[in-house]
Amino acid sequence: MSSKGKLFVVSGPSGVGKGTIVRRLDKTDAVLSVSATTRQPGKGEKDGIDYWFISRSEFEERIEKGMFLEYAEVFGNLYGTPTDKTQEAVESGKNVILEIDVQGGLQVKKKWPEAGMIFIMPPDMLELEKRIRNRARDSEETIRKRLEEAEKEIEIGKKNYQHFVVNNVLDEAVSEVQEIINSH
């Protein structure tokens, strides 16, 4: 008999390095949840690997059917965590890591109070801006929106999350998140 896995939420402002960190976590006893989204796939992104890319009408149908553990609209697109896959992984004894925004994080916390809530902080706002710019993916308009949104997300994070990790030196941030997961 294997015991059940645990659920971890990893949030933080866009560009802080959440994706980079969660990709480097130990996957021996953990899986990354693959979210559904209505946004278009980016260059090199694969369906079922990075996201499940679905239409808005399909997404809305799945909301109606109660198929999401949580969902939220972020920068004009819908994002959601499929309940079935999360449940299956937890039942099979795997920890599940959800890299989701703070609105979704709060929904998970309500439904699943024992979830580990991890918030990734930037060293400072200038460094966050640099990282968003380095990605060279967003327009000036989008960059400004993401930075504005970042301030709000950090406020919500501070009030509602349990663990805080500053992503300054990447290796150190990865180790800190790993340690939180291992000791939860």
Ligand X SMILES: Nc1nc2c(ncn2[C@@H]2O[C@H](COP(=O)(O)OP(=O)(O)O)[C@@H](O)[C@H]2O)c(=O)[nH]1
Ligand Y SMILES: Nc1ncnc2c1ncn2[C@@H]1O[C@H](COP(=O)(O)OP(=O)(O)O)[C@@H](O)[C@H]1O
- Residue numbering of the annotated binding site for ATP: 12-19
**Residue 178 contacts residue 26 (beta carbons within 8 Å):** yes
**Residue 36 contacts residue 83 (beta carbons within 8 Å):** no
**Residue 69 contacts residue 83 (beta carbons within 8 Å):** yes
Residue nearest to ligand X (CB): 104
DSSP-derived 3-state class of residue 26: coil
Residues 137-176 that bind ligand Y (CB under 6 A): 167, 170, 173
Q: Which of ligand Y, ligand X, none does residue 117 bind to, with CB < 5 to 8 Å depending on kind?
A: none
Among 131, 157, 161, 165, binds ligand Y (CB under 6 A): 131
Per CB under 6 A, 18 contacts ligand Y: yes
Residue closer to ligand Y by CB (options 50, 67) is 50
Q: Which of ligand Y, ligand X, none does residue 81 bind to, with CB < 5 to 8 Å depending on kind?
A: ligand X
Residue closer to ligand X by CB (options 2, 48) is 48
Among 7, 8, 14, 62, binds ligand Y (CB under 6 A): 14
Task: Give the gyration radius of the chain's Cα atoms.
Answer: 16
Residue closer to ligand X by CB (options 3, 98) is 98
Residue closer to ligand Y by CB (options 138, 184) is 138
> What span, in angstroms and rounded, lies between the C-alpha atoms of 68 and 82?
5
Per CB under 6 A, 16 contacts ligand Y: yes
In the chain, where does DSSP find H-type helix? 18-23, 56-64, 83-91, 102-111, 125-134, 140-160, 170-183
**Percent helix, strand and coil across the chain, each to the nearest 5:** 45, 25, 35
* 41: enclosing H helix or E strand: none
Stretch that binds ligand Y, among 11-19, 42-50, 67-75, 105-113 (CB under 6 A): 11-19
Residues at the site binding ligand Y, with contacts judged by CB under 6 A? 12, 14-20, 131, 134-135, 167, 170, 173
